[in-house]
Amino acid sequence: MNATGTPAVAWELLDGGVKGIAKKYSQDRGRALTTADGRAVVLAVADGHGSRAHFRSDLGARWAVEAFTASAGIYAHEVVRRGQDAANWPRLLAEARSLPQQVVHAWRRRVLTHEANSPAHGGNGGAAPSGKAGATTGATTKGAARPGAGSAPEADLAVYGSTLIGAVITERLLVCWQLGDGDIVLVDPDGTTRMPFYTGPDMGDETESLCEPEAWRKARLHWHPLTGVPPPGVLISTDGLSKSFADHEGFLAFASGVRSRAASHGVAAVQAQLPDWLGHAAKYSGDDATLAGAIPAAGPGAAPAHPHTDTH
């Protein structure tokens, strides 16, 4: 029960990933978990850039998810504790805006510790070999090399490069963050879909990355107060999933169908089918495909109010 005496929202989770059809192993990582005594959900997916220039990006993606879920788990407890009172929302919004910097710093510490103990380039002073990608300003090209730049530790961060998407969901607030490519889809009980960060078709392979200097400045934030009723279903995925569809409408129909099938057959049935669905996606896109999601177990509710999205 929550502070008002009504049942707290419960969620059922989806979590799965497959490697690209022609890849030796997946560069993606994902996780879905409940926290705060089941009153909040944390979702995260990360997509390591792959290629020879980013040959440790599977580790970068793993540590991105770990760093996010650690910081977001603490934030989720604060949202549950203070989020029932709208007077606390400005402070919670400020904390949401600062969370990407915490995550990036934690990710960098983990990467640089690993780099210090096992130099990516054989202890040659840390400079990236000719043709390898460096942590420069601007977007990182997935699957392609760029000339290195900057100090030795900065150059070495590029081999761990990864994107990151995450969300915290409670009965009163939904907060999403995104750095780099990938997709967040919100699905209402009636199947209506919304994508808070969607700006149009992806026209290339460049993406913002955790390996860039002050990467947190490029993170986008979606702050979505709810009306005290069950929130929308939330699906976050790496771009290997959406790229497997012929068009954007097909991807949205898939997302709507996930919630519809969860309502009619149960989330456990959807989870059981998820590896097959993602496997088909990986076959068509050629890329790793990872999805994490949360479906409210409570009945349908009213429309949410006053979402706020920061884009930089």
pTM, whole model, 2 decimals?
0.85
Does 250 or 307 have the greater pLDDT score? 250
Q: Residue 311 has what pLDDT?
A: 47
Q: For residue 157, give every residue at least 6 positions away whose Cβ sits within 8 Å of its Cβ, in sequence order, or none.
A: 108, 111, 112, 115, 135, 210, 211
Quote the tokens at residue 8: 């707290």
Q: What pLDDT band is residue 263 in, cutting at 50, 70 and 90?
A: very high
Does 71 or 227 have the greater pLDDT score? 71
Q: State the average pLDDT over residues 259-266.
A: 94
pLDDT of 305 strictly over 60:
no
Least confident of 59-68, 143-152, 192-201, 214-223: 143-152
pLDDT per residue over 127-173, tens digit each?
Answer: 333 232 333 335 666 654 333 333 334 447 888 999 999 999 999 99
pLDDT of 97 strictly over 90:
yes
Q: Are 227 and 302 in contact (CB under 8 A)?
A: yes
pLDDT per residue over 18-65, tens digit each?
Answer: 988 877 878 899 999 999 999 999 999 999 887 766 678 889 999 999
